Amino acid sequence: MKRATLLAFALSFALGVSVSDAQAQSRIFNTVKAKLAAGERVVGGTVSTPDPDIYCAMANSGFDFMWIEMQHSPLTYTDVARMIWACRGAPAIPFIRVPNATEGDIQKATDIGALGIIVPMVDDADKIRNAVTFAKFPPMGKRSQGGGQYRALWGNDYRRTANDNIMIIAMIESPAGVANAAEIAGVPGVDVVFAASSDLGSFSGKRQGDPEYEALVTAIEAGTLGADRLLGGPLAWMSTRAPYRFFQGPGTTSLIRRGASVVLEAATPCRELPAGVAPIEGEERCR
């Protein structure tokens, strides 16, 4: 008998569930979580527009996850549900930065299929503890089981597997949060603590590189790593701050602007076509 089957039998006896249920509980469909567990780094592209075509272009472009921005955008949950559904099956996993850690916000975000809940402005452990409670089904949390498109997206065993797949990211943005970094990171169910670089500067009045600013970042790092949690930050930190493994990438407007610059600066943007020949509309030969 294979070791995995033996483990499933042992788990079933310990928990009083069937072998099939025990095996289902270990199914990981959140590829971001799997990559992080394997020691890899992950990058998410930021989306704040309701256009499903733009979302799908981003979700299929190579990002590990989509950072769907609902804190600083007018996006509604109806908008986001349509975006996620339009690109179901895309490699990038949907993560939502919710406006706040309320039961209603997190319930809606998980019901429409988000596998990552990014919680802004975490100043104390109670806020992120509430987020975990609202995102997880019993016995770990108090998430209500209702309707939504989550089962159509992630499978009929979603209720049994959701707690193992939904990730919680705590954003520390102020000196108050920094002071509580170790306690925040230590809350069961927290996967990543994200150092919000811009807001740390805004709240502290210091710029990156300033000793006081860097002391705040160091405190976040110490508290997070001391609790055996992962560190997140802006993509610009990927090459300069080694401990970080979860990154927020550029937004759609920035990527469009950069992409346009590349096309305009290239002498022959469509290298496979003869010089002076325009591509046929709809064939997307220029990439």
Domain boundaries, the chain: 25-147+157-253
The residue among 181, 161, 79, 65 whose CA lies nearest residue 117 is 65
Domain 25-147+157-253 falls in which CATH fold? TIM Barrel (3.20.20)
pTM for the full predicted model: 0.84
pLDDT reading at 236 higher than 90: yes
DSSP three-state, residue 82: helix
CA-CA-CA-CA dihedral for 31, 242, 202, 226, to nearest 10: 80
Per-residue pLDDT band for 281 (boundaries 50, 70, 90) equals: low
- Kindly state the DSSP code that residue 149 receives in the 8-state scheme: S
DSSP three-state, residue 154: helix
Q: What is the pLDDT of residue 1?
A: 35
Per-residue pLDDT band for 272 (boundaries 50, 70, 90) equals: low
- How far is 283 from 26, CA to CA, in rounded Å? 42
What average pLDDT score do residues 65-82 get? 98
DSSP three-state, residue 117: strand
How far, CA to CA in Å, does 245 sit from each of 103, 142, 205, 237? Answer: 28, 29, 26, 10
pLDDT reading at 16 higher than 60: no
- How far is 99 from 101, CA to CA, in rounded Å? 7
The residue among 36, 94, 109 whose CA lies nearest residue 63 is 94
Q: Which residues pair with 235 in a beta bridge?
A: none
pLDDT reading at 9 higher than 50: no
pLDDT reading at 270 higher than 70: no
For residue 68, what is the enclosing H or E element? Answer: strand 65-69
Q: What is the pLDDT of residue 274?
A: 55
What does the radius of gyration of the chain's CA atoms come to, in whole angstroms?
Answer: 21
pLDDT reading at 269 higher than 70: no
- How far is 28 from 34, CA to CA, in rounded Å? 7
The one catalytic residue in 72, 207, 258, 271 is: 72
Average pLDDT in the chain: 88
In degrees rounded to 5, what are phi and psi of residue 69?
Answer: -90, 105
pLDDT reading at 45 higher than 90: yes
Is 72 one of the annotated active-site residues of the chain? yes
Query: What percent of the chain is predicted at pLDDT more than 70?
Result: 84
How far, CA to CA in Å, does 115 sit from each of 4, 109, 206, 268, 274? Answer: 25, 9, 34, 41, 45
